[in-house]
Amino acid sequence: MINQFRKRLITLTTIFVAIILTTAFAAIFLTTYLKQKSDNLEKLNQAEQLRITGGKVTFDEKSDDMVEINRIVPGAGVYFNMLVDKSGKPMMIDSALKLSKKQYHKAAKYAWKNRAGGVVKINGREWQYVVAPAIAKFDYGSKEQSVEKDDETYLMRFLDITDSKKSLSSLAITLTIVGIGLMLLFFLVIIYFTNRAIRPMEEAWQKQKQFVADASHELKTPLSIISTNVGVLYTSKDETISEQLKWLDNISSGIDRMNGLVNNLLRIAKTDTSFEQLTISEVQLDRVLENSFSHYEAKFEAKQITVNKMIAKVTARTDENLLGQLFDIFMDNASKYTNKNGSFDLILGTKGKETTIKFKNTGDGIAEEDLPKIFDRFYRTNEVRQKYAGSYGLGLSIAQSIVEQLGGKIEVKSSVKEETEFTICLSSKNSRDGKYKVIS
């Protein structure tokens, strides 16, 4: 699911970036193209500046000579004009270029055929042309080319657009190459940032998946015990209940285990969702701790554990319920994991803004390699897994989550076959939004 989400996010972002890039580049290309088109048209339209002076035709109000001789008008581009009669035959050529008569005639023929305007290829170059009626009727000097006043004449203007076309196509190539390069770069950047953004989500998703898998696995064990033992009962229907007690005990312990597990799972669900929903009030920590201890006192006594209490009076603003749950988890562990005739130290003290609660007990202890794992959900050390039926490996993970909510931290020290010490530090400094605040 996360992978699908990642793929979709990358695809959508890439499409979005591609659209923006393409639009930007298309806009650059289109503006250049339109500018060039209008420039060319402007240059071509200058063809209408045909003048009559003293019965003779001139272009651009210049003398006859200047029309025929090399004439370069700055900004007008490379062009030539032709005056043609009503059958499209050239009557006069105004050109500064060295083209053969044949080529001019070929150009005129083509342009006459396609009078609406277009592009013709002459001498390996492309010429855009316009054909327009000459602006006036006039006489032209020489006998053989004389134009009567009312003769219909047309003006053709050819503009060399080879270079502008070339520059346009090289712009298109440049934009395509830069576009592809940028797209590749953006694609890599998008992948990098998407992966970074998704990582915490992926971790949470993995944890959730692991949790569901572990919870199902843990539930399967007592369920299979129950179903096996029920199966045995069915095969011996004629026996009395007291004769079947062994199977019934197994079923009952399976039910107890499932009950404990489900309760713990509910507690986890509650601590996970109750984030931000704390009920803060003035709480006497020493009382909550004593109260929690009283729940387990009988267990300590049964194992003849020496309990040493050093409990200072501490009042703080915090969530009493959560705190009670937290203390219960450590009391439960101490009562379970302290060896018979061992000892248990319970210490509560405060220093400035910081409150420390210590739970120290003798016993098997926790091996160094197990220490980082004991806060993981469903983690139990091997000895505990074998010895204690009522252990689910959920207590410390719940404790961790509670302490996180209150803005504190848990530290653990242990030496195998000697002792284990858990220290909870709650501090006004670390706790944002006043979730924990020492009053006295």
Ligand X SMILES: Nc1ncnc2c1ncn2[C@@H]1O[C@H](COP(=O)(O)OP(=O)(O)OP(=O)(O)O)[C@@H](O)[C@H]1O
Q: 361 is in the binding site of which of Mg ion, ligand X, none (Cβ under 5 to 8 A by kind)?
A: ligand X
* Least Å from the CB of residue 381 to ligand X: 3
| Angstrom distance (rounded) from CA 188 to CA 253 | 57
Query: Whole-number minimum distance, CB 335 to ligand X, in Å?
Result: 9
Which tokens hold the place of 59?
């272009």
Q: Which residues bind ligand X (CB under 6 A)?
A: 264, 333-334, 337, 361, 363, 366, 374, 379-381, 384, 391-397, 420
CB of 262 to ligand X, least distance (A): 12
In angstroms, what is the minimal distance from the CB of 426 to ligand X? 19
Comparing CA positions, the residue from 271, 257, 219, 256 lying closest to residue 397 is 271
| Coil vs helix vs strand at 212 | helix
Phi/psi of residue 435, each to 5°? -75, -20
Q: At closest approach, how far in Å is the CB of 384 from ligand X?
A: 4
Q: List Cα–Cα distances, 155 to 42, 72, 398, in angstroms.
A: 16, 19, 94
Specify the residue, 405 or 420, whose C-beta has the smaller distance to ligand X. 420
Nearer to ligand X, 372 or 434 (CB): 372
Among 77, 395, 407, 408, binds Mg ion (CB under 5 A): 395
The DSSP element (H or E) to which 380 belongs, if any, is none
Half-sphere exposure (Cβ direction) of 198: Cα atoms closer than 13 Å: 18
Which of 166, 385 has the CB closer to Mg ion? 385
Q: Which does 90 bind (CB under 5 to 8 A by kind): Mg ion, ligand X, none?
A: none
Give residue 264's Cα distance to chain centre. 35
Residue, CB closest to ligand X: 395
Query: Nearest distance from residue 369's CB to ligand X, in Å?
Result: 12
**Residue numbers 325-364 binding Mg ion by CB under 5 A:** 333
CB-wise, 134 or 398, nearer to Mg ion? 398
Q: CB-side exposure of 214: number of CA atoms within 13 Å? A: 16
For residue 421, give the H/E element and its range. strand 419-427
Q: How many CA atoms lie within 13 A of 31 on its CB side?
A: 5
Q: Which does 420 bind (CB under 5 to 8 A by kind): ligand X, Mg ion, none?
A: ligand X
Pick the closer one to ligand X by CB: 323 or 384. Answer: 384
Binding footprint of Mg ion on the chain (CB under 5 A): 333, 395
